[in-house]
Structure 1
Amino acid sequence: MKRRVVITGMGVASPNAVGLADFRNAIREGRSGIRFFPELEKLKFKCQIGGKPEISEKMLQEYFSPLQLRGLNSSGIFYGVIAGKDAWKDAGLLIEEKEKPDWNSGIIFGTGILGVDKFREAIHLIDEGKTRRLGSTSVLQTMASGISAYLGGILGCGNQVTTNSSACTTGTEALLMGFDRISSGKAERMLVGSCADDGPYVWGGFDAMRILPANYNSTPEKASRPMSESAAGFVPGSGAGALLLEDLDSAKKRGAKIYAEVLGGEINSGGQRGGGSMTAANDEAVQRCIVKALENCSLKKDEIDGINGHLTATKGDVTEIKNWVNALGRKGKDFPLINSLKGMTGHCLSASGSIECVASVLQLSDNFIFPNINCEDLHPEIVKLITSENIPRETLQTEVKTIAKASFGFGDVNAVVIFKKYIA
């Protein structure tokens, strides 16, 4: 018999807020974290805006020891450790030095690319014949599993400690991987999440692809426009989200606060066939992923109350809504409430799924639906499929029982997780 899995802790470093309490307020208020960056203007980027968590030196000193900070130059590791430690503490777990690791706790914390600024620094030093000046942490900061390795050492986890990477699907995939490990009895607790670096050396490739908005440099908060007719491309973002998943019996035994239950989900790929490509989703695969997620959770199609979509503010938004309508067999007023966090944060790439999972769970636990911002002009093709009332533009104080969170990534990969309100 599979074990039930619940969420007992969360942490977040998002462009619009750092820390769970402030993030809760930010999404309720529809607060944007997208800003103009003079550095991007100097480098002649077309899109000179982005989403980046505001982290002070003082805050870093609260999360890292002086030794850990020595030579550390990876924004993704900064964000991931902040979110991960916060989630651990939020779950009521101690961070302490002990002789043996915690064999029942593990980590699956993903990323897309890590340590870009450290790579740049290393390349210059090596080319100048100054290899010895790289320092002892350059490998740890630039290996993909650097984030899980840092967290694993800080928290002393002795179960599986690893990093996954599946483009924009990374965070949601990490959560489902952690869910599987607990539900199968291989762990009691898994810290799951994902992080993303930021800056010109991460965002430059997307600017070169001309898929970022170039006309909002003077009005950055208006730039990310999911489901809008005037959407002009996604705004790049960064940060990290973390969730502490736990076996229900373990959580109840130690009297932990329970935010929500993870019912399960599905991960698949469109194989870059049938209309799918490196950058576009195979519609059949997306619909199969949604339907299979419901089947895995023993849910009927009319039991989904809310959807936190991938919805990036590109032409793919219309297609995504069509796929939800076809997969659920629900349209018009019968369609669930749907929202996208990316209007407030931009597209946080490999961190997007985990940050948006935190936002989804907060809606369940606190009985509200956060607003969609910057979509006053809803795309007419979307309005033909679902009513505008299904796309709240103001915060709704309402109780929902189930929320489906979806992530669709480059490489034609998909993940859907379903959260349920926990009732003791």
Structure 2
Amino acid sequence: MKKRVVITGLGVVSPNGVGISAFSEAIKKGVSGIEFLAELRDLKFSCQLGAAPKISEEKKREYLSDLQLRNFNSSGILYGVIAGMDALKDAKIEPAKPEEAPLWDLGIIFGTGISGVDKFREAIHKIDDKNVRRLGSTSVAQTMTSGVSAYLGGLIGAGNMVTANSSACATGTEALLMGYEHIAAGKAKYMLCGSSSDSGPYIWGGFDAMKVTTYKYNDTPNKVAGPMSEDASGFVPGSGAGAYLLESLESAQQRGATIYAEILGGAINNGGQRDGGSMTAPNSAAVQKCISEALKNANVSAAEIDYINGHLTATIKDPDEIENWSIALNRKGNQFPFINSLKGMVGHCLAASGSIEIVSAILQLHEGFIFPNVNCENLHPKIASLISSEKISMKTQKTSLQTIAKASFGFGDVNACAIFKKI
């Protein structure tokens, strides 16, 4: 019999707030972390806006020692370590002491996309082709995809499965569902899951070249047209990390832990880059199938979904996403659930988007509110034809949510959808 799985700890490193308290306050107020970056202007980027968390040197040393920070240059690992350790602390689980055995019942699945680019660039910049061996002793740990999970594994003393996943923008949602399955199958008591993304021009430059980022708001970063807006012209690149501590309901109740939400189930699939799907665009049939299969796996009817935390990126694909939700749920107009997108406040945090957005979704479920859709007053007409405007709130609303959905759709035509319920 599958074990019931709940979330008992949260951590977040977001462009508009580091730590759950600051982040929760920011999303309630619609605070944006998007800003103009002179570095991108000097590099002649079309989009000269970005969104990155602010981490002081003092903050770094709350999590990593001076020795660990020596020659350390990976923002993605730093973000992931902070979010992961905060989620563990929030769940009131102590790391194993250095002299103790590993925590055999605690595992980690922490994903990323493009990892350690700044570190690798720094290392390569100092050498030539005849001196490759001089890349440096810290380059491997900071550039391997499993870097975040490896750092966390050592800090915590995790003794169960410690690994990483990488599925572009769907990474964080996929990591959660992988951790859910591991606990549901009785293979671990705790799973620390999440995802992280580096910041900076070497990460964001490729997206600028693809022309999927906006160029219209370089002088007005606080007015960037948000997801679902008719004026949306592309996303602002972001970065950060989100984390969640999963455990069995039985364990959480025995410990008297705070239960933020129960994970009812979900689904992961791929559109095969067929039927309109491609490396960069989703196959609508696969998106609808993923949502439908998530509901089936969670044993939830479409009518029970109160709220959707959308992937919605402020691109031309937003109307298609809304249509896919409407078809999969067979709901439209006033019957459509509440929906919002965090990307209006923090940009598109790439591999970290799913995890940061899941944290925002869980906070809304737990605390009973819906955060505003920022700069979305001019709703896209196709979306307006599918959803009643009252379901796309422009201000924070207090409301009682019971069952919610979160989906992420990533490059490679990968889809992931998770269903959560308030306990």
- SS state of the match for residue 356, structure 1? helix
Quote the offset at 1:124 in angstroms: 1.6
Quote the offset at 1:137 in angstroms: 1.2
Quote the offset at 1:97 in angstroms: 2.6
- SS state of the match for residue 333, structure 1? coil
Counterpart CA distance in 2 for 1:156 and 1:43 is 42
Match of 2:76 in 1: 76
- SS state of the match for residue 168, structure 1? helix
Counterpart CA distance in 2 for 1:53 and 1:259 is 24
- SS state of the match for residue 83, structure 1? helix
Contact 1:224–1:346 (CA<8 Å) still a contact in 2? no
Match of 1:376 in 2: 377
Quote the offset at 1:126 in angstroms: 2.4
Counterpart CA distance in 1 for 2:324 and 2:255 is 42
- SS state of the match for residue 398, structure 2? coil
Quote the offset at 1:99 in angstroms: 2.6
Letter in 2 for 1:395: T
Letter in 2 for 1:108: I
* Per-residue Cα deviation, 1:17-54 (whole angstroms, up to 9, x for no partner): 00000000001111100011111011111101111001
Quote the offset at 1:224 in angstroms: 4.8
Further displaced range: 118-127 or 257-266: 118-127
Match of 2:390 in 1: 389
Counterpart CA distance in 2 for 1:177 and 1:219 is 40
Quote the offset at 1:135 in angstroms: 3.1
Contact 2:225–2:376 (CA<8 Å) still a contact in 1? no
Counterpart CA distance in 2 for 1:340 and 1:73 is 30
Quote the offset at 1:343 in angstroms: 0.3
Match of 2:89 in 1: 89
Counterpart CA distance in 1 for 2:135 and 2:324 is 49
* Per-residue Cα deviation, 1:208-227 (whole angstroms, up to 9, x for no partner): 11111111111112225100
Match of 2:107 in 1: 106
Letter in 2 for 1:26: A
Matches of residues 97-246 of structure 1 in structure 2 within 5 Å? 97-127=98-128, 134-246=135-247
Further displaced range: 267-276 or 248-257: 248-257
* Per-residue Cα deviation, 1:139-182 (whole angstroms, up to 9, x for no partner): 10011111110000100001000000000000000000000000
Letter in 2 for 1:269: N
Matches of residues 326-345 of structure 1 in structure 2 within 5 Å? 326-345=327-346
- SS state of the match for residue 52, structure 1? coil
Quote the offset at 1:252 in angstroms: 1.1
Contact 1:71–1:135 (CA<8 Å) still a contact in 2? no
Q: 1:224 to 1:109 in 2, by over 3 A?
A: farther
- SS state of the match for residue 168, structure 2? coil
Contact 2:123–2:136 (CA<8 Å) still a contact in 1? no
Letter in 2 for 1:237: G
Counterpart CA distance in 2 for 1:3 and 1:164 is 23
Counterpart CA distance in 2 for 1:148 and 1:98 is 21
- SS state of the match for residue 62, structure 1? coil
Q: Does 1:409 align with 2:410?
A: yes
- SS state of the match for residue 2, structure 2? coil
Match of 1:32 in 2: 32
**RMSD after superposition:** 1.0
Letter in 1 for 2:180: F
Match of 2:22 in 1: 22
Task: Give ranges in structure 2 of 5+ residues lacking alignment.
Answer: none
Task: Give ranges in structure 1 of 5+ residues lacking alignment.
Answer: none
Quote the offset at 1:131 in angstroms: 5.1
- SS state of the match for residue 126, structure 1? coil
Q: Percent identity?
A: 65
Letter in 1 for 2:237: P
Counterpart CA distance in 1 for 2:314 and 2:225 is 6
**Structure-1-length-normalised TM-score:** 0.98
* Per-residue Cα deviation, 1:210-255 (whole angstroms, up to 9, x for no partner): 1111111111122251000000101100000000000111111111
Quote the offset at 1:133 in angstroms: 5.3
Quote the offset at 1:66 in angstroms: 0.9
Contact 2:179–2:192 (CA<8 Å) still a contact in 1? yes
Contact 2:307–2:338 (CA<8 Å) still a contact in 1? yes
Match of 2:278 in 1: 277
Quote the offset at 1:315 in angstroms: 0.6
Counterpart CA distance in 1 for 2:132 and 2:25 is 46
Contact 1:224–1:342 (CA<8 Å) still a contact in 2? no
Counterpart CA distance in 2 for 1:292 and 1:133 is 50
* Per-residue Cα deviation, 1:75-119 (whole angstroms, up to 9, x for no partner): 000100000000000000113334310000000000001111111
Match of 2:295 in 1: 294
